Structure formats: C-alpha cells, structure tokens
Amino acid sequence: MTILADPMDRALELACEAAAAGEVPVGAVIVDPETGEIVAEGANAPISGHDPTAHAEIVALRRAAEKLGNYRLTGLTMYVTLEPCAMCAGAISLARIGKLVFGACDPKGGAVIHGARFFEQPTCHWRPDVEQDEARGEAASQLLKAFFKARRK
C-alpha cells in the first residue's frame, strides 16, 4: 500500500516521467480518500502506446478499475496535473469518480472549467466535486511550457 502526504506531488513526478519519455507531461493519481492509499496512477502515453486515448487520466482509470474489479470508482479522488479534456472528463464521469483535483488550467483543450465544461452539461449523468490545486498548478504549467518550448526550437 502506497500512501503519500500529497498525491499531486506524485502526479507531478509522473508528468516529469512522461516528459522524459517524449510524451506531453501529464500525470494522474487515483486515491482512496478514506485511507489515503494510491489505488492507481498513470502518465500520458499516447505516443509510446500507439493509443490516442492513453491520456494520464484514462491510464489511471483503467488501472484502478482493473485493480478493484469494478468500472465504477465511486468515492475515489483523482489528482491530475492538467485540466482534463472532454474525453477524459467523460471517462471520469462514467467511472463515477467522487472528486477531481487538477493543477494547471487548459484554456485551449480543457473541458472542466474551459471549453465544453463537461460536468455542467445536462447530459452529464455524474458530476464529481471539482477543485483546482493552484499551488501545484503553477508547477504543472511551467513543466508544460518548458516541454513545448523545447519542442519548438
């Protein structure tokens, strides 16, 4: 059993690992808030996995569902370094995640507080509590900016 004082720190470590592998630096951790146990984690892997759906959130959701033997992850908390896109927000809703904590905002591709605002749509059947970790969001934002700046050279 792995328990961390701040799961967002682990999500940031996973984002750094993704960047080192040439993937967009995003990390996600799913935690049982009652015990503090990390249930599953994931890092972006669409390039290495040849899978356009292998976003950090999806990877973590798949691992958590497999570990628990249930696709419904009710009551768990997901920590992710970047505001989820529409695909990931949809998967978070379908998994019935209880709370979503994200770091950096994504005005271009995010779908939680930007863009589609997925959880506010009347067709969304499950809405997690949502919180932004602004303190860690700045670190996640800087990691993303450095990653893309290096790619533009």
**Of the residues 23, 34, 37, 57, which is catalytic?**
57
Helices 86-95, 56-68: crossing angle, 10 deg rounding: 20
Enumerate the known binding-site residues.
55, 85, 88
Q: Confirm whether 34 is a catalytic residue.
A: no
Q: In what order do the strands lie in the sheet with 129-132?
A: 38-43, 27-31, 77-82, 99-104, 129-132
3-state secondary structure 71-88: CCCECCEEEEEECCCHHH
Provide the 3-class DSSP secondary structure of residue 70. coil
Enumerate the known binding-site residues for Zn(2+).
55, 85, 88
Q: Are 82 and 145 in contact (CB under 8 A)?
A: no
Alpha-carbon distances, residue 116 vs 61, 85, 107, 125, 141 (angstroms): 21, 9, 11, 15, 21
Provide the 3-class DSSP secondary structure of residue 129. strand
Catalytic residue annotation: 57
